[in-house]
């Protein structure tokens, strides 16, 4: 019998539903399928805003006026380049690393090599360094995509917006207006999403007053895990293996009959359809038509309908990954780069929450309930059986 004062404590495995901080940055209502940034509904931001404007909102708590947005855009553009030495070292990586590993290493190299990346001690300095990372993340990610495809990186174009420039650096050519809009919306939708695993990882590191590059690499490392990022890769691979709506019906029915998980369905927080999936569904249809992938969209829609019919009443519905992979595929983005794109967007939320948290910083120090043996006597090694 234990006499530990911890024995009657309630345990929340994985810290589920434990309130660890307050925030005014983002809010999601899993019951209603609602996602809000700084008080603005994600549907309105996706319809009317831009990623640059949304980043400003997350960082500064308000929508910018025209002059503020122009100044902020100019700053992002000026921060886009990544040192050649960083890209050269990534290109010389001796093994075919996962792109997320290369992204994580790239951020670390930038902090080590770039003399402008001093460890900021004050909040404004950390915010400024975070803005630099937000601007550089697309350049680094696109360069990794091209390196892995045995192509030379494409330098950023200062005349293009954030989303358009990202597509240009990946594909080496200017994107169509619809593609630019869809990429922009995708970045907005992934920019922030509550106290998820990668955001929490960033905050844990930042709360020690470590540098922001270290905090962001922690977020990237958490995002790399298949339970957090990467489900959209699995979804698109499944869709590509199916060749018709009949194939999709058979696949969905088999998964449901065997009581298995439909990839791209279900969310730790949402008990209804993910609002981001609602938005991306329409854009997925639009881009699939103009890129000759309409059949792929119809296959996804067939699976979605059968999945909702079977699991919807249980609160298991499509999440953002169900359609994001299809969108990225239609935009010509390599499958292995889907999760790095997540990081391109989420860096904005990571930085915003880091800056917010350290204003009233308190290092994270949860406890673990000890359930191991007690009272053992040490036995010298020669006497052990």
Alpha-carbon distance of 173 to 171, in angstroms, equals 5
Phi, psi of 36 (to 5 degrees): -130, 135
Length of the chain: 385
Query: Rounded to an integer, what is the distance from CA 297 to the centroid of its chain?
Result: 23
d(CA 169, CA 259): 42
- CA pair distance 159, 347, nearest whole angstrom: 22
Structure tokens at 148: 């892995």
Beta carbons of 110 and 170 less than 8 angstroms apart: no
Backbone angles phi, psi at 28, to 5 degrees: -135, 140
Map residue 225 onto helix, strand or coil: coil
Contact at 8 Å (CB) between 251 and 265?
A: no
Helices then strands, counting H and E runs in the chain, come out as: 16, 3
Low-confidence ranges of the chain (pLDDT < 70): 1-8, 115-121
Residues 254 and 248: their CA atoms lie apart, in Å, by 10
**Long-range contacts made by residues 44-50, C-beta under 8 angstroms, separation at least 24?**
45/188, 46/185, 46/188, 46/189, 46/279, 49/188, 50/161, 50/162, 50/163, 50/184, 50/188
Residue 381: CB atoms within 10 A of its CB come to: 6
CB atoms within 10 A of CB 147: 19
Q: How many CB atoms lie within 10 A of CB 257?
A: 9
Active site residue 267: yes
The pair of three-digit structure tokens given for residue 356, joined into one six-digit string:
């917010």
Q: Give the torsion sign (CA, 204, 207, 213, 216).
A: positive
Closest CA to 295 of 260, 261, 329: 329
Beta bridge partners, 48, equal none
> Which strands form 34-37's sheet, in the order they lie side by side?
26-29, 34-37, 40-41
CA–CA distance, 100 with 347 (Å, rounded to integer): 14
The catalytic residue among 184, 192, 274, 321 is 321
| Lookup: tokens for 217 | 């690499």
* Cβ within 8 Å of residue 58, ≥6 positions away: 25, 26, 37, 38, 191, 192, 348, 349, 352
Contact 69, 75 (CB under 8 A): no
Specify whether the CB–CB gap between 259 and 250 falls below 8 A.
no
User: What is the C-alpha separation between 170 and 345, in angstroms, rounded?
Assistant: 15
| Candidate list 267, 274, 286, 382, residue with the active-site label | 267
Query: SS3 for 129?
Result: helix
User: Among this protein's residues, is 114 annotated catalytic?
Assistant: no
Domains of the chain: 26-225+335-358 (1.10.580.10), 231-330 (1.10.230.10)
| Confidence (pLDDT) at 307 | 93
Q: Which of 134, 13, 125 is nearest to 82 (CA)?
A: 134
Structure confidence at residue 2 (pLDDT): 45
- Tens digit of pLDDT for each residue in 111-157? 888 765 556 668 888 999 999 999 999 999 999 999 999 999 999 99
Write down the pTM of the prediction: 0.93
For the chain, the distance separating the N- and C-terminal CA atoms, rounded to the nearest angstrom, is 28
């Amino acid at each position: 019998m234990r006499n530990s004062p911890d024995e009657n404590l309630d345990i929340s495995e994985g810290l589920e539903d434990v309130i660890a901080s307050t925030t005014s940055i983002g809010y999601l209502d899993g019951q209603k399928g609602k996602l809000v940034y700084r008080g603005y509904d994600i549907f309105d931001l996706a319809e009317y805003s831009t990623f640059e404007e949304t980043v400003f909102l997350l960082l500064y708590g308000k929508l910018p006026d025209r002059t503020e947005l122009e100044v902020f855009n100019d700053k992002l553009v000026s921060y886009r380049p990544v040192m050649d030495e960083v890209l050269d070292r990534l290109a010389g990586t001796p093994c075919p690393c996962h792109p997320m590993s290369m992204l994580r290493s790239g951020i670390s190299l930038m902090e080590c090599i770039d003399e402008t990346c001093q460890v900021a001690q004050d909040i404004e300095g950390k915010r400024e360094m975070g803005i630099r990372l937000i601007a550089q993340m697309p350049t680094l990610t696109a360069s990794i995509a091209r390196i892995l495809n045995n192509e030379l990186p494409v330098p950023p174009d200062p005349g293009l917006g954030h989303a358009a420039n990202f597509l240009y650096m990946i594909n080496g050519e200017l994107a169509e207006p619809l593609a630019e809009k869809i990429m922009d919306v995708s970045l907005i939708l992934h920019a922030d999403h509550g106290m998820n695993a990668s955001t929490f990882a960033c905050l844990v590191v930042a709360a020690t007053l470590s540098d922001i590059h270290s905090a962001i690499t922690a977020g990237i490392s958490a995002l790399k895990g298949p339970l957090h990022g990467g489900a959209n890769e699995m979804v698109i691979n499944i869709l590509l293996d199916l060749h018709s709506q009949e194939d999709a019906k058979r696949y969905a029915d088999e998964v449901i009959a065997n009581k298995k998980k439909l990839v791209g369905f279900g969310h730790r927080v949402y008990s209804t359809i993910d609002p981001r999936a609602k938005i991306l569904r329409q854009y997925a249809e639009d881009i699939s038509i103009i890129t000759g992938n309409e059949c792929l969209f119809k296959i996804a829609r067939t699976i979605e309908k059968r999945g909702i019919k079977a699991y919807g009443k249980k609160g298991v519905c499509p999440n953002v990954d169900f359609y994001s992979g299809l969108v990225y595929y239609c935009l010509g983005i390599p499958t292995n780069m889907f999760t790095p794109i997540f990081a391109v967007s989420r860096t904005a939320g990571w930085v915003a929450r880091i800056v917010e948290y350290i204003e009233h910083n308190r290092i994270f120090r949860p406890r673990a309930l000890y359930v191991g043996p007690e009272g053992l006597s040490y036995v010298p090694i020669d006497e052990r059986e």
